[in-house]
Structure formats: structure tokens, C-alpha cells
A and B are shown apart, each in its own frame.
Chain A
């Protein structure tokens, strides 16, 4: 029995990690700029498509027809020559193999740029407007982003292979001194969990231990006073928006081998991550992370057959159900500060 529970716990971790990363970015934006960003899921999706684009670039190849050899149908055989391998040899092959992690390098500058452009271009003008209008404009932006992606990459999911070496499963049970081959877990999901733990840790460390982070935290607590002290808090908040976009984008990149990216994945995750943010407490970063993992793990347990036999359909609604209960019983969420968006 223990191993079943432990396995479900592990299964919840990677989804929980994705929720936590998106919710972290959402909360960061809400806590700093006070903007309810419905386009945040789209940023996750854009990140995932950065990985797709990177892989397309890496696997560019020249196709020539070879009149000497014929295929079984009698047509000239196509000879494909991958450019990366031709130029870089073995290193090129490694690059293609590790295209997903490599595309993080592309994603970080792109997402930073997208985030800052978005904030300066549009969201800046919505600070003083009601939350409903912020929701509406970011909702519109999310539609635009996903339609642009759809018109470039097409409507179908594009599976991204993970590096060959990481395709296996990790025998976590054996590592912990239990019986071998009982608790195994796909290696990539383990890596995703570790990656997100490092990313989350990095964001917290950045906020906690750097001067920049200190100023941002001060600005979150009392923007006006920080501004009066002669600090250009707006600029820092803009950078935080860019940072939130980068976090969402990186979460998206690393998630591509688990879920083939399609243009509407952002919206699917957005709804869930909003629920996560609300459960964690609007504006609380630890709350967002904790709630992300909590809901991921709960969802994983709810999809166990034993549980589904007791309450049919619970796996479909567990997250929303928890959100509804939390909102009705404890409106400021698990760790929300008193008085922040408490209504």
C-alpha cells in the first residue's frame, strides 16, 4: 500500500511543479504590479513553442534527390543531410539530442523581451483600471498569442523528443533501499521536478538575498513609500514582469517532452494556475508554490482507480472543488496576507 501511495505522490510532483511555476509567475506579477494577468498561460505556451522552434532550427536539413538510387516505388530516393551534423559533427548531434534543454538558452532572452514589451506596451496602461478590464485585455492578448502560434505552427500538437539518455525510468524504490522495480518513475519527470525546484529556489533567493530583490519586496509591501525614497520602482517591476515571463517560458520549455505543445495549452494551464494562485492566496509566493504542489499531488491521488470507485469523476473536478471550498471557507487562501484582495 505504501508504494502505491508513494508512486501517486511522485506522479503528482511533475504536474504540481508545472502548476507551481506558472502560479509563481502569476503571483509575482500580481504582487508587484497588481495586475491580474490572464495572458500568463500564453507565456507558458510561448516558451513551449520556443523549444519547438529551436528544434526546427537544429534539425534543418538539405534534401536532394538521388537519381542513382530508387525507392521501391521507382521514384528517386531523397537524401537528407542534417545541417547541424554537417557543420558541427558529433557536437551537432548532441545539440539535436538535447534540443529541449538547449532551447532554454533561446527562451530566456525571448521571453524576457516578450515580457518587457508586453508590460511597457500594454499592461502599463492598465494599472489604474479596474481588475475586470485587466482581465479582459490580458484575455484578449492570450487569444492573440495563441492564434499567432496556431497560424505559424499549425493546430496539431507537436511532440518533442527528450534526450535519448533520459528516456528511461528511475528506480526510485531501489535508491531508497526498497525492493527494486516497484517504484519507478520516468527520468525526465524527475528532472522536471528538480529543475522546477531549482528555478523556484532561484527566484526566492533572488528576491531574498539581492538588493534588487529587497527593493522589489519593499515595493510589493508599499509601493508609494519606495517611490518616495527616490527609487524607480516602476522599472524594477517591469523587470519582474519580464522575469515572471521567463519563469513561465522555461517551465513551458521543459514541459514539452511530457506534454506535446499545442496552441491552446496555455489556456488549459492558465485556468488551473489561477485556481492554484487563489488557493495559495493572492500575492503570496510561498502560497503559490505550496498550492501548486498540493493540487498536483491531490489530482494525482484523485485519479487512482480506488478513489474513483468511491467518488466517480473526482479526478476531473478535484482541483476546482478544492478551489471552491478554499474560496468559500478561507477567502484569502492558504497563505494569503490579511487584507490583500480579500473580498
Chain B
């Protein structure tokens, strides 16, 4: 075992597995213990983990990852429509098709780096989004969004079973994927995705990617052709996004093009940065925090606020309700933007760096023994 995984890695994986599987229990007191939200936690965590494989390890900032997410969603729904309501072929198609798509876009975009790479990925994603809305309407169903209908062929299902009444819902090998079944399916995929990311990060391939991030020129001088490595990272990252998109199609089979819009690409960037780019747990935490607060904050209304501030004198509490109501409900994105700006300014390593700094406070003996470069604002490339 020791040659396969270090003890720390194993502990992290076990801890992560336990944390994910018990999510319905420990999130219930926070009002988040229901499957619909938990599914999203798992799905967007996978999306962010995948994004981190590209951005966190190689430093290439892609502003077009939502394109792969959207392609994954469309592929999954088409698999539902044409083949079967089973989740496995749907996810397989989602991953394979988004991998092909990522291969094409990555091959072109990775010819440039830095800001040009960001613009290229953004341009490709916007092209996909615009096309999905206009010319590709036969495939994407345009503004209405692609959805399941009663007239879908579903070749495999109809050959094997008698068609039931009403719209079918996604299944896993005949078992319906609803409620907590769907969550544990998503959770299992999340754990596998985390495990793979951990393996990638610790492998020689992962070291190569980190080398590209810290100094690509030096990698060239030592005789490495970095392009295949970055392309591989890009495709892997695109596959993660496709998987997440496919999973979202399973829990919510109405797919609209807005899943590919650049704001969706921006959201995964936010998640990764907020949690801590380049770390394993960071993107997961970022995704959970954003999805949790999105859910909680957007549900808060003036009545709840009034109750919260009711301990203050009348005039003051009314004023506080007025002020705070700008930051919750529809205004939740304002809070997100502010938090994000503060994080980028003061804590570029995200939540994970904050945790590390606090932990360092309690370990004075180890801090003195650490190399001096730990004090710089950037996090270590990866854990």
C-alpha cells in the first residue's frame, strides 16, 4: 500500500469519503440535508475538481469550461432520448463527447498561453453558446431547452421493457435514481473523481503539470515538450466537466444553453479560487460554499431579515433590514462578488490558505522549521 499511496493521501481520501457519505447527516442542521441540493454539491464539486486539474496544476486559466459542461449535459439527454434512461450510458456519452470536444478546443487554444489562452477558450465557449441558441436548435432545442418527451425512441429501453405511462425518469441498472439514491450515486462518482484527481496530482504526470505552472520555459530547456501534457490536462479537465454536466442532466433533465454561457464558466472559476486553486480539497470546499450560500442566501427574504434584526430598536432594525436585504435574495450575487474580490486581494490561496495560516498559528515549532517561501502569498502548487 505504501508504494501506491502515501499515508497522508490515504487518510485524506478516507476522511473525504466519510465526509461525503455522511453529508445528509451533518448538513441537515444547516438546512442543506436534502437530496436536490446535495446532488448539486457533488456535481459542482466534480466540475471544480476538474477545472482545478487544468488551472490549479498548470496555471492555464480557462474561461470556457462551461462549454464542456453543457456538451456533457446535451450528450446525456440525447442518450436518454435515443438509447435508454439508464445513467451509465448517458454519463459515458457525456464524458466521451466532451473529451472529443475538449481535445479539439484544447488543441487550438493551447497554442497560446496567458491572457490569450483565456480569450481563446472564452471565444470558443461563446461560439458554442451562440450556436446552441441559434443554428444548432435541432440538436439543442434552442431557448426552450432540450427535454425528454413521450415520443422519444429510446431504442434500448423499448426493446427491453414495456414502456410505462408518463415520462420516464433516469435509472441506474433498473433502479430509479430519485432522492437519496441519486445522491449516493453522485457521491460515489465524486469520491471516484476525487481519488483520480489525487492520483493525478501525485503522479509524475502531475509533477510535470506543476512544473509547467511554475516555469514553463525551464521545462522547455530541460527538453520536455509541454504541449502534450497541457493538452492531456485540458482534456481530463474537460472530461470532468462533461461528467458533471451529464450528472446534472440526470438530476435535472431540462438542459438549456445557459449552462454553457460564460457566466457559468466564471462560476467554476469562482469556486476554485474561493476554495483554493491548486489544492485538492479547495475546489470541493469552494463549490460547496458557493452552492450552499447561493441556496441559503437567495431564500432569505425581508420577513426572515426582520426577525433576525428584531432584537434592535425599531428604527435601527428597519434600517438594517433595508441594508441587508440588498445582499440576500436576488442580491446574493453581490455578496458573492464582494467576497470574491476580498478573497483575491487578501487571501489569493482561498479558504485552504486561510486554514493553513490558522493551523500555522497553532504550530509554532513547525513553522520555524518550514522553508521561507511558505510565507509568500501563493499556496504551494498542490498538496
Chain A contacts to B: CB under 8 angstroms: 36, 122, 125, 129, 131-133, 135-137, 139-144, 147-148, 150-151, 155, 267, 271, 274-275, 278, 282, 312-313, 316-317, 320-321, 323-324, 327-328, 331, 341, 343
Name the one of A131, A267, A323 contacting B114, with C-beta atoms under 8 angstroms: A131
- Determine whether the beta carbon of B331 is less than 8 Å from that of A312: no
Residues B117-133 near A (CB distance < 8 A): 118-120, 122-124, 126-127, 130-131, 133
Shortest distance in angstroms between B59's beta carbon and chain A's nearest beta carbon? 7
Given contact pairs A131-B115, A316-B135, A317-B130, a sample of 18 additional A-B residue pairs in the complex whose CB atoms are under 8 Å apart: A122-B345, A132-B59, A132-B61, A136-B340, A140-B340, A140-B341, A143-B266, A143-B334, A143-B337, A267-B263, A312-B135, A313-B130, A313-B135, A316-B127, A323-B119, A323-B120, A328-B108, A341-B115
- Residues of chain A within 8 A of B108, CB atoms compared: 324, 328
- Residues of chain A within 8 A of B344, CB atoms compared: 133, 136-137, 140
Shortest Cβ distance from A132 into B: residue: B61
Name the one of B127, B135, B326, B331 contacting A320, with C-beta atoms under 8 angstroms: B127
Q: Per-residue CB proximity of B241-271 to A under 8 Å, as 1/0?
A: 0000000000000000000001100100100
Shortest distance in angstroms between B199's beta carbon and chain A's nearest beta carbon? 26
Shortest Cβ distance from A277 into B: residue: B119
- Determine whether the beta carbon of A271 is less than 8 Å from that of B341: no
- Determine whether the beta carbon of A36 is less than 8 Å from that of B345: no
B112 within 8 A of A: yes
Separation of A313 and B273 alpha carbons in the complex (Å): 35
* A to B CB contacts below 8 Å, 11 in the list: A122-B341, A131-B115, A133-B348, A135-B61, A137-B344, A140-B340, A140-B344, A142-B337, A267-B263, A278-B116, A278-B119
B111 within 8 A of A: yes
- Determine whether the beta carbon of A316 is less than 8 Å from that of B333: no
Shortest Cβ distance from A315 into B: residue: B134
B113 within 8 A of A: yes
B338 within 8 A of A: yes
Given contacts A132-B61, A328-B108, is CB(A275)–CB(B119) below 8 Å? yes
Separation of A331 and B135 alpha carbons in the complex (Å): 29
Count residues of chain B with CB under 8 A from any CB of chain A: 41
Chain B contacts to A: CB under 8 angstroms: 59, 61, 108, 111-116, 118-120, 122-124, 126-127, 130-131, 133-136, 262-263, 266, 269, 273, 326, 330-331, 333-334, 336-338, 340-341, 344-345, 348
Shortest distance in angstroms between B119's beta carbon and chain A's nearest beta carbon? 5
- Residues of chain A within 8 A of B338, CB atoms compared: 140, 144
Separation of A135 and B273 alpha carbons in the complex (Å): 12
- Residues of chain B within 8 A of A151, CB atoms compared: 326, 330-331, 334
Separation of A313 and B133 alpha carbons in the complex (Å): 10
- Determine whether the beta carbon of A317 is less than 8 Å from that of B127: yes
Shortest distance in angstroms between A43's beta carbon and chain B's nearest beta carbon? 15
Given contacts A267-B263, A316-B130, is CB(A141)–CB(B341) below 8 Å? yes
Shortest Cβ distance from B61 into A: residue: A132
- Determine whether the beta carbon of A324 is less than 8 Å from that of B123: yes
Shortest Cβ distance from B122 into A: residue: A271
- Determine whether the beta carbon of A341 is less than 8 Å from that of B337: no
Given contacts A132-B61, A313-B135, A317-B131, is CB(A331)–CB(B341) below 8 Å? no
- Residues of chain A within 8 A of B131, CB atoms compared: 313, 316-317
- Determine whether the beta carbon of A125 is less than 8 Å from that of B345: yes
Separation of A343 and B216 alpha carbons in the complex (Å): 12
Shortest distance in angstroms between A307's beta carbon and chain B's nearest beta carbon? 13
Shortest distance in angstroms between B11's beta carbon and chain A's nearest beta carbon? 31
Chain B CB within 10 A, most for which of A129, A148, A312, A313: A313
Given contacts A135-B115, A324-B123, A324-B124, is CB(A143)–CB(B333) below 8 Å? yes
- Residues of chain B within 8 A of A331, CB atoms compared: 112, 116
Separation of A144 and B335 alpha carbons in the complex (Å): 8
- Determine whether the beta carbon of B130 is less than 8 Å from that of A341: no
Given contacts A125-B345, A316-B135, A324-B108, is CB(A143)–CB(B113) below 8 Å? no
- Residues of chain B within 8 A of A144, CB atoms compared: 334, 337-338, 341
Separation of A131 and B124 alpha carbons in the complex (Å): 20
- Determine whether the beta carbon of A140 is less than 8 Å from that of B115: no
Separation of A160 and B340 alpha carbons in the complex (Å): 33
Given contacts A36-B115, A320-B127, is CB(A147)–CB(B134) below 8 Å? no
Separation of A114 and B333 alpha carbons in the complex (Å): 21
- Determine whether the beta carbon of B269 is less than 8 Å from that of A320: no
Shortest distance in angstroms between B208's beta carbon and chain A's nearest beta carbon? 20
Separation of A328 and B331 alpha carbons in the complex (Å): 40
Separation of A168 and B89 alpha carbons in the complex (Å): 59
Chain B CB within 10 A, most for which of A147, A148, A331: A147
Given contacts A151-B331, A271-B126, A275-B119, is CB(A143)–CB(B340) below 8 Å? yes
Shortest Cβ distance from B340 into A: residue: A140
**Pairs A-B, 10 closest by C-beta atoms:** A313-B135, A143-B337, A147-B334, A316-B130, A140-B341, A144-B337, A320-B123, A140-B340, A317-B127, A137-B344
